[in-house]
Structure 1
Amino acid sequence: MATPILQFGTSRFLQAHADLFVSEALERGEALGRITIIQTTGSPERAGRLAAFAVPGGYPVIIRGRQDGRDIEREQKITSVARALSTATDWDAVKRVFSEEAEVVLSNTGDTGYKVETGDCAGPVPASFPGKLLALLHDRFQANRRGLTVLPCELVSRNGEVLKKLILDLQADRYPESDFRDWLSRDVVWANTLVDRIVSEPIEPAGAVAEPYALWAIEQQPGLTMPCRHPAILLVDDLTPYEKLKLHILNLGHTVLADIWMKENRPASETVKAMLRDGDVRQRLLSIYRDEVVPGFAAKGLAKEAEAYVAATLERFDNPFLEHRLRDIANHHAEKLVRRIVDFHAWTPDVPMPVLLDIASGQ
C-alpha cells in the first residue's frame, strides 16, 4: 500500500498527535492515506517500537484529563501507520518510499533535531535529520521532480522557514546545482506549524498517554497539501496569535507557578495540579490572567481568544492524571522569564503589568 505521508521521528508526541489525527480522519475518508514512520536516530532502545507501530489492530493512545468541566479517560487504537523503517538499516527502502510515494512529510526530531555536526556526511547515510532530508530531496528531484509539502512539528518558531533555510544552506555546499535549488524553493512547500498537546508518558512498545486538548495550527500558503482534515487542525493565515496565546498564557502560567514555588520553598515534589489546590496560589494566578494577561491580548484584538485559552489552560493545569512537577518547569527559569513575561510586555507595552514585571525583575 502506498503511503503518501512520511513521518520522521518515532516520538510519543507524534503518536498521540499527528498519527492519531490521521487515524481518525481515515475512518471518515478525510485523510490522504496512511503513514510510513522513519526512525532517524538508529537508537537501539527505540528499535522495538518499529515493529509495534504497524501491528494489526493498531497501537493504543489513552486520552486522560479534563474537558468541558469533566474528567475524560478513553483508549483509542491508532491504525494510520502502514510501515516503519529505520534510516540505519532500511536506507534504500526509505529512499524509494520518499521518492515514489510521499506527498506530505512530517517531522518531530527533538530539541537538537536541526543540529548538523562536523562530519555529517562521513558515512553512506548523513548523520543529522537535515542531512538525511536533503539527500532524500535530491534523490526525488533527480527521479521525478514532483513537489511535496514539509510540515515540521518541532517547537521552533517559524519552523518551516527555519528548516528551509537550513536545507538551502546545506544544499549550497552538498548539491550546488542551481536547478535543484530552484526546485527546493519553488516546488517544495515549507509550512510553518504550531503544535500544542501534552503527551505525558509512553506506552511500551508503542503508544502514549495524552491530554484531551490538542491543536495543530498550520499556516496557509500556495500549493500546501494537508495530510488530513480534523477538528484539531486549523489552517490559518498567520500563526502569530496562536504562538502568542500558547507562550503568554500556558507557558507564562507555568513560569508564574514555578516562580512562586521557588520563592516560597514549596515541596520539592509538588505538581501543578497540587499547587493549584492552594486557594491563595490559584487566586494569584487567576488575577494575573484577568488583570494583566487578557488585557494585553485585548489590546491586540484577541480578548475572546485569550479568555477561551485561559479557560482551556486551567482545565489542563487541573488534569487529575498528569504529574507535572514544578521542579521540571523551573529549569532555565531566567530565560523563560524573558521569553514568557518580558517579551509579552514588549509586545503590548501600553497595558500595565505590575505583578508580572515584578516577577520578571526577581521581586
Structure 2
Amino acid sequence: MEQLSNNYGEFAHFPEKVIQFGEGNFMRGFVDWQLQQMNKQGLFNGSAVVVQPISQGLGKMLKEQDYLYTVILEGLLDGKTVNTSEIISTVNRVLNPYEEWQEYLALAEDENLEIILSNTTEAGIAYDESDALNDTPPKSFPAKLTALLYKRYQLQKPGFTIIPCELIDRNGEKLLAIIQQYAEHWDLKADFKTWLTKENTFCCSLVDRIVPGYPRDRADELNEKHGYIDNLMVKAEPFMLWVIEGPQKIKEILPLQEAGLNVIVTDDMTPYRERKVHLLNGPHTAMVPLARLAGLETVEEVMLDADFSVFVDDLFARELIPMLDLPEAELAAYAEQIKERFKNPFVRHELSSIALNSVSKFQARLLPILLRFYDTKNSLPLGITAALAALIVSYLQEAGNDDAEVLALFAEAKELPTTEQVAFLLAQTKLWGQDLTEVAPLVDTVNDLVQKIHEVGTRAVIKEIHQQAE
C-alpha cells in the first residue's frame, strides 16, 4: 500500500480562510472535520493554514501526506451505530513559525483570512514577560498572535473573528487580555489598542468531542480497510458540540449550523460551559491519576471496573451535580449520556492522552468544584481530593507530560522531605492559581491520602471513600 497523498484520488482544495493555531488530534478531528462538512455542502469553500504552536509538531508529517488525513467516527449517536472513515482535505499547509517567521507574519496581508481558531492546550493561553516583539518567534501563543495582529494593523487591513478552543473559562476574554498586556509591555501604538477591540471579535467558546487520536492498536487493520497508509489518522466519537459566545453574524461567517452541525451561537455560554467542563471533563481529570496508578489504561476500562465505575457514579451524584446551578434532573440526564459516551467500545480513549497538562486541567475542571463544595458544606469532596492526591503522587513518581515550569516545581518538591512536599506544592500559585494551603483542612487531608495511596493503592482508597459516603 502507498501512503495517503494527492495521488490517491481527486480532492477539492479551497482558498485559505482560517488561521488555525494547533495541528494536534483534537483540531484535526473537530475543527478541520467541520470545515470539511461545510465544504461538502458548498457553504464555506475554504481551508485552514495551520500554525504550529511549538517547534516540534506534525507539520512535516502532514506535508508528507499532502496535508491529507482520515477521520474515523465510531460510536453511538442518537441511538444509532456510526462507523465511518473520511479523508479530510481542509488543511492547506502548515507553517512552523520557529523556522518560517516571515511567512507567518505574511498571513497578515491576506484579507481572505478572516477567522482565527486555536487549541494550544489549557496552558497555551498564558503571558510570558520574556517575550519581545522582535523575537522570531516569541515563545507563547498569545505573543505570536499579538505580533500577527500588529502586522495586520500596520497594513491597515480588517480585523479577525478569533475563536479560541482551549478548555479554560472565558478563553476569548483571557486571550484578549493577554494580548492587551503584550501591547502595553511592547509599547505598541494607542491606535493599535483601539483597533484591537473595535476591528476584531474575540469570542469565548467551548468544545465537546472525545478525540482519542491515532488508533495505534488498530492501525494496520484500518490501513488495510482504507487501502492506504495513513500515519495521521484520527479517531473520534460521532458526538460533537461547539458553543460559541458572540454575535449572530458568526453564523454567516461560519455556517456550521446551516451544515447541520451541533453548533450553538449564544450571548451567554456560561450554563453550557459549567455543565460540560465539570460533568464531562471533570470526571476525566479525576479518574486519570487514580486509575493509572491502579494499572488501568483506558476510559472504557474505568467504566467497566467494579470499583472505579462506582467512584465515577459517586463523583457525579455526590460532588459534581450538587454544585452546579442547573436543574438536577437535566444534569442527571446529561451525566447518564456522558457515561454512555465513556463506555463507547469503539473508542480506545487512553488515560495517558488525557493526562497531558493534568495540573492546569485540574485547576480548570475540578478545583472550582472543590472550593465551592468546601464553601457550601464546610467539608472537602473526598473523591476530588483523592484525585488531587493521586495527581501529586503521579507527578512526584515520574515527570508528567506538562509545562516545563510545572515540572520544575515538582522536581523542587522531590528534593524536600516527604512530610513537606504536599504543603510546598499546594502553596504554589503557579500550579493552582491560588495558595491552596489557605483551604484549612486540605494539606492534612491530601497528606493522609498520599500516604494511603503509597500504603494500600488507589483502588483501596476509592473503596474506602465510597464506604464512608454510604
| TM-score class normalised by the smaller sequence | 0.7 to 0.9
Match of 1:216 in 2: 242
Contact 1:69 1:315 in 2 (8 A): no
Q: Is 1:318 equivalent to 2:343 in the alignment? A: yes
Cα distance change of structure 1 residues 315 and 98 upon mapping to structure 2, 3 Å threshold:
farther
Match of 1:242 in 2: 272
- Greater Rg by CA: 2
CA-CA distance at 1:326 after TM superposition: 8.2
> Please, what TM-score do these two structures have when normalized by structure 1?
0.81
1:102 to 87, 92, 113: 113
Structure 2 matches for 1:239-318, cutoff 5 A? 239-254=269-284, 257=287, 261=291, 266=294, 268-279=295-306, 281-283=308-310, 285-286=312-313, 289-290=316-317, 293-294=320-321, 296-297=323-324, 300-303=325-328, 305-318=330-343
Q: Is 1:149 equivalent to 2:177 in the alignment? A: no
One-letter code of the match for 2:43? E
CA distance in 1, matches of 2:299, 2:371: 24
Q: Deviations over 1:140-186 (max 9, x none)?
A: 11213312211111222111111111111111232521111100011
Cα distance change of structure 1 residues 271 and 237 upon mapping to structure 2, 3 Å threshold:
same
Determine helix, strand or coil for the equivalent of 1:200. coil
Q: Is 1:345 equivalent to 2:373 in the alignment? A: yes
Unaligned runs of 5+ in 2: 1-13, 216-229, 388-444, 450-464, 466-470
Q: Which one has the bigger helix percentage?
A: 2
CA-CA distance at 1:197 after TM superposition: 2.0
Greater relative contact order (Cα < 8 A, sep 6+): 1
Q: Which one has the bigger strand percentage?
A: 1
2:178 to 166, 172, 183: 166
One-letter code of the match for 1:102? L
Contact 1:251 1:340 in 2 (8 A): no
Cα distance change of structure 1 residues 126 and 247 upon mapping to structure 2, 3 Å threshold:
closer
CA-CA distance at 1:356 after TM superposition: 5.8
Contact 1:25 1:31 in 2 (8 A): yes
Count of aligned positions: 354
CA-CA distance at 1:338 after TM superposition: 5.2
Match of 2:256 in 1: 229
One-letter code of the match for 2:338? T
Contact 2:207 2:243 in 1 (8 A): yes
Contact 2:143 2:182 in 1 (8 A): yes
Contact 1:6 1:37 in 2 (8 A): yes
CA-CA distance at 1:304 after TM superposition: 5.2
Unaligned runs of 5+ in 1: none
Cα distance change of structure 1 residues 340 and 168 upon mapping to structure 2, 3 Å threshold:
closer
CA-CA distance at 1:117 after TM superposition: 5.5
CA-CA distance at 1:238 after TM superposition: 1.6
Determine helix, strand or coil for the equivalent of 1:276. helix
CA-CA distance at 1:131 after TM superposition: 2.2
2:213 to 184, 189, 201: 201
Fraction of identical pairs, as percent? 27
CA distance in 1, matches of 2:132, 2:17: 28
One-letter code of the match for 1:159? N
The RMSD of aligned alpha carbons is 3.6
Determine helix, strand or coil for the equivalent of 1:110. coil
